């Protein structure tokens, strides 16, 4: 008897390549266009001028563009926003660093000690960690930096009886809701407010309310799911991968018993913690970005190797093996950025923005702000970068708010909440696809996990925006 073949959902690589093909197809259908641009001293960038849209000679993207998109996504000298080589190198350095730390046994021993101390109270790690990541999101737009934390948090969650989805959700939703409710985030709120010609503190109260309520909603959602999985592992959306994930994230720890926590382990974990503390300081106060963070993890790996006395050959082999483990994540980041490359080359971004501009004309205040929110949701799929979307849309959308009798600060809030929410699941956002690859969570299962939360968050945001019109 022939066994029936079941449909298998495509991998993230296939999904992203299909999106590249679809976007390339759109460049043959959507007219090419552009806005006149002027230099903004406040933003140190060129911004589009409202009312100056015009169609230009089309540049449809064909077979060659589709083939080269992932390569251009990794390194595209013509588009800084699309480049992902710096993020990819950062991921490889993290992989090497984590490989060296894991080789010392310090992570295993540290997790075991954490489990002993938190026995019966593991669930409280969820709100604490989500609060820390949300703080990073709301203050400096923590996104790519979170990729360093997945291989720390996920093993702890799996060892505590939860699953990989719980670990991914703590970081991705925690930092994501912080960005969604950005307060002083220079890459979202500040840039968007400058582009809208208003102080970034204007509209702060509503953003803080959305941040707090959104965080509570996300924490409650994750804790409820995690507790359900702990009581019945078969209710996990990755239940069929339970043994595989336990072997990958936890190793043989359960069968071998809890390892001893030695003095060397303690020193390694001190270096480990200091590395992340320095990274956070460097990004938030030192002006660091991917190159500096990559260098930090390389130096930290060498220091760990010296502390643990691994030896030159063992250290080198371990570092390379660790980087190899995350090579797929680095590549998937390039493929995701390739979508933006094709769209920019096809010159359809300005046309989509122009259509959005026309869609919000002559609407009532409440309808205007909610329509703007949904337009920003759609644009966020094509322009996942918070700073890129702000520079692209705010110079156009903010002046339109004046005609609708809506505070420009509310337009900024609509933009940042839309962009933040879409980036919970956005397949064109390298952080999402990288996080799911690190957590070994299939994209369609992440959608199944998040859709009820997305619905609740949408109701919260639209309600907040609607009330904001009358405040």
pLDDT in tens, 303-353: 999 999 888 899 999 999 988 887 877 787 777 778 778 888 898 888 888
Residue 12 has pLDDT above 80, yes or no: no
Q: How many CB atoms lie within 10 A of CB 151?
A: 23
- Report the pLDDT averaged over residues 435-458: 94
Q: How many CB atoms lie within 10 A of CB 233?
A: 15
What's the pLDDT tens digit per position in 16-38? 788 889 989 999 999 999 888 88
Measured in degrees and rounded to the nearest 5, phi and psi for residue 79 equal -145, 105
| Residue whose entry in the numeric block shows the structure tokens 């400058």 | 194
- Report the pLDDT averaged over residues 3-12: 60
E-only strand ranges, 74-162: none
Residue 4 has pLDDT above 60, yes or no: no
Residue 76 has pLDDT above 50, yes or no: yes
DSSP-derived 3-state class of residue 332? helix
Nearest alpha carbon to residue 300 among 326, 281, 273, 275? 275
The reported pLDDT for the residue numbered 77 is 63
| Residue whose entry in the numeric block shows the structure tokens 């933006």 | 340
Cβ atoms 334, 84 nearer than 8 A: yes
- pLDDT grade, residue 175 (50/70/90)? very high
CA distance 202 to 199: 6
- Report the pLDDT averaged over residues 354-374: 86
Flag the least confident range among 61-65, 321-325, 329-333, 451-455: 329-333
- pLDDT grade, residue 1 (50/70/90)? very low
Q: Cα dihedral sign for 448, 453, 458, 461?
A: negative
> How high is the mean pLDDT of the chain?
85
What's the pLDDT tens digit per position in 269-290? 899 889 878 887 887 777 787 7
Residue 84 has pLDDT above 80, yes or no: no
The answer to whether the pTM exceeds 0.85 is no
């Amino acid at each position: 008897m022939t066994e029936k073949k079941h449909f298998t959902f495509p991998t993230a690589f296939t999904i992203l390549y299909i999106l590249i093909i679809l976007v390339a197809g759109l460049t043959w259908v959507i007219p090419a266009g552009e806005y006149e641009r002027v230099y903004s001293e406040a933003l140190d960038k060129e911004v589009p001028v409202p009312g100056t849209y015009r169609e230009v000679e089309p540049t449809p993207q064909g077979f060659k563009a589709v083939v080269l998109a992932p390569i251009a996504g990794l390194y595209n000298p013509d588009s800084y926003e699309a480049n992902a080589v710096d993020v990819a190198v950062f991921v490889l350095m993290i992989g090497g660093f984590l490989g060296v730390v894991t080789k010392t046994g310090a992570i295993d021993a540290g997790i075991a000690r954490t489990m002993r101390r938190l026995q019966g109270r593991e669930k409280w790690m969820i709100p604490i960690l989500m609060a820390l990541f949300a703080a990073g999101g709301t203050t400096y737009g923590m996104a790519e930096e979170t990729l360093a934390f997945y291989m720390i948090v996920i093993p702890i969650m799996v060892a505590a009886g939860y699953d990989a989805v719980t670990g991914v959700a703590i970081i991705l939703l925690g930092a994501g809701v912080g960005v969604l409710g950005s307060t002083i985030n220079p890459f979202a709120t500040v840039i968007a407010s400058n582009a809208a010609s208003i102080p970034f503190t204007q509209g702060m109260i509503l953003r803080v309310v959305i941040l707090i309520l959104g965080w509570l909603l996300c924490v409650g959602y994750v804790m409820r799911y995690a507790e359900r999985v702990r009581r019945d592992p078969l209710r996990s959306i990755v239940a069929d991968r339970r043994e595989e994930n336990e072997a990958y994230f936890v190793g043989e720890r359960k069968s071998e018993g809890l390892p001893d926590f030695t003095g060397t382990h303690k020193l390694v974990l001190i270096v480990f913690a200091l590395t992340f503390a320095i990274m956070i300081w460097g990004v938030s106060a030192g002006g660091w970005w991917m190159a500096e963070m990559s260098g930090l993890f390389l130096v930290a790996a060498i220091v760990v190797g010296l502390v643990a006395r691994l030896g030159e050959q063992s250290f080198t082999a371990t570092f390379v093996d660790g980087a190899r483990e995350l090579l797929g994540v680095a590549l998937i980041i390039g493929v995701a950025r390739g979508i933006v490359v094709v769209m920019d080359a096809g010159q359809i971004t300005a046309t989509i923005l122009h259509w959005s501009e026309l869609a919000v004309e002559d609407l009532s205040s409440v309808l205007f702000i909610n329509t703007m929110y949904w337009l920003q949701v759609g644009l966020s799929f094509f322009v996942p970068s918070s700073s890129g979307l702000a520079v692209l849309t705010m110079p156009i959308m903010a002046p339109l708010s004046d005609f609708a009798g809506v505070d420009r600060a509310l337009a900024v809030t609509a933009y940042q909440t839309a962009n933040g929410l879409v980036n919970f699941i956005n397949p064109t956002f390298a952080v999402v696809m990288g996080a799911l690859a690190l957590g070994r969570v299939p994209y369609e299962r992440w959608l199944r996990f998040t859709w009820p939360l997305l619905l609740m968050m949408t109701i919260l945001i639209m309600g907040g925006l609607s009330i904001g019109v009358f405040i």
